[in-house]
Amino acid sequence: MIDIAAHFPILSKPVHGKKLHYLDSGATSLKAQSVIDAVNAYNAEYSANVHRGTYYFSEIATKRFEDVREKVRTLINARSSHEIIFTKGTTDSINLVAHALGSQILDSNSEILLTTMEHHSNIVPWQLVCERTGAKIVVAEIDDNGALDILKIKNLINPRTKIVGVAHISNALGTVNDIKAITELAHAVGAKVVVDGAQAIAHVRVDVQDLNCDFYAFSAHKMYGPTGAGVLFGKRELLDAMPPYQGGGDMIASVTFEKTTYAKVPYKFEAGTPNIAGVIGLGAAVDFVREIGFKWIESHEDDLIAYAMKKLSEVKGLKLIGTAAHKKAAVSFVMEGVHPHDIATVVDRHGVAIRAGHLCAQPVMKRFGVTALSRASFGVYNTREDVDALCAALKSVSEVFGA
């Protein structure tokens, strides 16, 4: 077995005197040593702004910054590096599309199709644009297993549908959605598809040309990179036609008080000094993931999710929430008579870190009649030992609360 954990220095740090079992990668993944080194190298060895200087360090910083754009293009198989926009993360990316595209193509006769399982970052930006344009949000419901019905989506999509926003993988349920099929249905009526790929990018091989989605958003910190850096992929012809999202330095061709002309994509959407260190770290994270390979990642994590589902289902008083046939990366559950926050507090004393709360997915909570969930989410560094540690800690929860 590959010793992945050795690449993550934080895993050597004890928690409450116990070995750390980190099961909250869905919130933020741990940082690989190569990523930490890359960020430190930028700050210590060639810290300078990009695209602005003609001196040595600026030229190095600019080249390495732009090299990451090509690395990301290769990772997701985009046609051109001009289709890769650097953002603060998935939320920023979706807000960019909602503002720039939504304001351009939506009106009071338009509909935006979302699903019950969306993260708040793929709901609220669309609500804001609806307030400005008069467009209406339509919701595709999920079944009792937490899965979407493609036939129901087909019935909801119509000529008024202008945008379909959908998660590739649900952060709360782990459900994997058939993006390619949804895109085909959307494109049949001329709608554009915006994919929240935050929970997918580190777990499955993403090919945006094969998916044929119009936009794909993800964050560096979900794939072993730094926080505050992310990506928006957009088809070149759509990006060219969209107005800028923000104004400022580096997104212009010329400025006078009478008129401003804008730079070409992707720079048109990258106003101001970017998170250079974060993007450099993103590039190192891409290298790390590609070195491991998605063949190994998917095989390892599929085994882990199946093992976790089996072992957790054997815990007395525990109910799994989200049992779709095709799921990745996360397992959510409730325990009879115990609030998820109390569960998380008790298992933490055993060195086990899990998520508890509404998971930024309150419509999912409403759908399943709960106020909060406990969630264990996985990364490449996790093993069956982490699942066993969680289950042992959950037995302590039962003892403490008499569940």
* 347 and 250 part of one domain: no
DSSP codes of every residue in 246-276: S-STTSEEEE-SS-EEEPPTTGGG--SS--H
Residues 101 and 242 in one domain: yes
355-381 core/surface letters (b: 16 or more CB in 10 A; e: else): bbbbbbbebbbebbeeebbbbbbbbbb
Q: How many structural domains comprise the chain?
A: 2
Helix (H/G/I), strand (E/B), else coil: 111: strand
> Mean of the pLDDT values across residues 283-307?
97
360 is catalytic: yes
For residue 321, give the 3-state DSSP assignment.
strand
Give the angle subtended at the CA of 323 by the CAs of 321 and 325, to the nearest 5°: 165
In CATH, what number is assigned to the domain containing residue 116? 3.40.640.10
Q: What is the pLDDT of residue 350?
A: 97
Check whether residue 262 and residue 385 sit in a common domain: no
Catalytic residue among 130, 213, 360, 391: 360
Pick from 206, 202, 231, 229: nearest CA to 97: 231
CATH number at residue 323: 3.90.1150.10
Task: Give Cα separations from 190 to 123, 162, 298 (angstroms).
Answer: 21, 7, 33
Same domain assignment for residues 87 and 143? yes
CA separation for the pair 184, 403 (Å, rounded): 47
Average predicted confidence (pLDDT) for the chain: 96
Does 68 score more than 90 pLDDT?
yes
Are 48 and 169 part of one and the same domain?
yes
66 and 87 co-located in one domain:
yes
Tell whether 152 and 261 lie within a shared domain. yes
Co-location of 256 and 347 in the same domain:
no
> Is residue 400 very low, low, confident or very high in pLDDT (cuts 50, 70, 90)?
confident
Q: pLDDT above 70 covers what percent of the chain?
A: 99
Examine the pLDDT at 1 and tell me if it is beyond 50. Answer: no
Range of the domain at 324: 4-30+293-401
pLDDT (average), residues 358-363: 98
- Indicate whether 111 and 225 sit together in one domain: yes
Quick check: 128 pLDDT over 70?
yes
Residue 36: count of CB within 10 angstroms of its CB:
16
Answer with the one of 272, 291, 310 that is the final residue of a domain: 291
Residue 402 has pLDDT above 80, yes or no: no
Instruction: Kindly indicate the confidence band of residue 304, based on its pLDDT and cuts at 50, 70 and 90.
Output: very high
Q: Do 40 and 116 have their domain in common?
A: yes
Last residue of some domain: 291, 324, 344? 291
Tokens 């993944």 correspond to 29
pLDDT of residue 2: 65
* CA–CA distance, 268 with 251 (Å, rounded to integer): 4
From 349, 316, 313, 317, select the one nearest 331 (Cα to Cα).
313
pLDDT score at 403: 56
Where a domain ends, among 245, 270, 291? 291
Q: Are residues 102 and 166 in the same domain?
A: yes
- Say yes or no: 316 and 228 in one domain: no
CB atoms near residue 254 (< 10 Å):
9
